[in-house]
Structure 1
Amino acid sequence: MTSPRRFDDRTDAGERLGEALRDRDVDADIVLAIPRGGLPVGRAVADALGVPLDIVVASKIGAPGNPEYAIGAVAADGAVWRNERAFERGGVDEEYFQREREREAEKARQKAERYRSGRSEPDLSGKTVAVVDDGIATGSTVRACLAMLAATDAERIVLAVPVGPPETIAELREAVDDVVCLRTPSSFGGVGRFYDRFDQVSDADAMSYLKTDP
């Protein structure tokens, strides 16, 4: 599936993603967006499908001395994804990984609680869940989010993103029931390249997208 032009912004990407999901007859019961950048996209998708919007949260585990390089990620419930390639290269010990896993899991839990503002987690039993982000690069956080959702009673999990590198998208297909990705360019170079506006999304702005559901 391809998209003919750049996305104006995250809302535009979400509207086009929602249209693609309808075209694919994806009958989602709920949209779960990955904060922060996934929420404006998720809001537009949820509105297009006429379903509630909630969140799924994970936190990246950075390498020693290089926090931008993900050696793994952990979701709010402790579900973890390990970058086995990073471990194979050496330089990462298990003690460091487990220590950072606990720390980042707590950060993810706190973030989920802050975003929900006292609301309980949604019941996913028997539901079709659309997991939405503003794009995928390495896919570290989304992999942890998917590991968390795999442990629920959701009937079907669909990953929906505007853009991602073909190799990563192919790998993620193995973790879900379906993937809808509007663009899989062979020359990637980062999610922001495919948006005209790709500003940072603050926590306050991201949380505001959750307040339009009853």
Structure 2
Amino acid sequence: MVYTDRSSAGRALGAHLEHLRASNPLVLGLPRGGVPVAAAVCEVIGGDLDVLLVRKLGVPWQPELAMGAVGEDGVRVLNPDVLTHTGVSLQEIATIEARERAELERRKRVLRGDIPPIPLEGRTVVIVDDGMATGATVVVACRVARLHRPARVVAAVPVASTEAMRRVETEADEVVCPWVPRSLGGVGGAYHDFHQLRDAEVTALLC
């Protein structure tokens, strides 16, 4: 099972989220890759579309491997298993976190501008990414969302590792993932087209 692209993955994921249609959900894509998935989910189940800004903290010599993640409102999560295995130092973590928080602020200016985020309070919030390898980014997203008192937090991705599913199930009220392979080498392997999205592609989907 391989998805054609993020939009087709979003439509497939949306079919598993039809039970949320009546709740008028707020679908939050994690930029950049989660936004086209979220936009397609929103086409299927309705509701509102917005972004929730988080950044992966990648291992210095293997950036795609998340040793943690940071989000708005100062939230941070570290993955102790990855840190133990890789031996990343506290100084390296601090350096990477500073860089990623600067990028978080840049994306906030580019993707939101002066437009305030849609309020989460009392809403059924669906947090969408293009996949979960470690789950760190989605865990941070769930914790950021909880700060705004939503009625319910649902995490939804087209593909995930078993480890990520276990981590996120402790954070979200519901986790929806149609494809959990026995071994997930990387999220990109689940797509024929997994190109690096530009800011312009993301902002076009949010207009």
Letter in 2 for 1:78: G
Distance 2:182 2:24 in 1: 29
Q: Which residue of the other structure, out of 102, 113, 125, is the alignment partner of 1:129?
A: 125
Alignment length, in residue pairs? 207
Q: Which residue of the other structure, out of 67, 70, 81, is the alignment partner of 1:71?
A: 67
Query: What root-mean-square deviation, in Å, do the aligned CA atoms of Structure 1 and Structure 2 show?
Result: 2.2
Q: Which residue of the other structure, out of 189, 192, 197, is the alignment partner of 1:193?
A: 189
In structure 1, list runs of 5 or more residues that go unmatched. none
Q: Does structure 1 conserve the Cα–Cα contact (< 8 Å) formed by 2:138 and 2:155?
A: no
Distance 2:160 2:40 in 1: 19
Distance 1:136 1:174 in 2: 15
| In the alignment, structure 1 residue 141 sits paired with structure 2 residue 137 | yes
Residue 19 of structure 1 and its aligned partner are, at CA, apart by 1.4
Q: Which residue of the other structure, out of 158, 161, 169, is the alignment partner of 1:162?
A: 158
Distance 1:37 1:90 in 2: 26
1:48-106 per-residue CA deviation (whole Å, 9 max, x = no partner) reads 12211100111222345554443221112220011222444574444543454344223
Q: Which residue of the other structure, out of 172, 175, 180, is the alignment partner of 1:179?
A: 175
Q: 1:5-154 to 2 correspondence within 5 Å?
A: 5-23=1-19, 27-64=23-60, 66-89=62-85, 91-154=87-150
1:160-183 per-residue CA deviation (whole Å, 9 max, x = no partner) reads 110111221122111100011010
1:39–1:64 distance in 2 versus 1, CA, 3 Å: closer
**TM-score using structure 2 length:** 0.89
Distance 1:52 1:25 in 2: 11
Residue 26 of structure 1 and its aligned partner are, at CA, apart by 7.4
1:110-132 per-residue CA deviation (whole Å, 9 max, x = no partner) reads 21231113210221111110000
| In the alignment, structure 1 residue 202 sits paired with structure 2 residue 198 | yes
1:152–1:193 distance in 2 versus 1, CA, 3 Å: same
What is the SS of the residue equivalent to 2:169? helix
What is the SS of the residue equivalent to 2:145? helix
Letter in 2 for 1:177: D
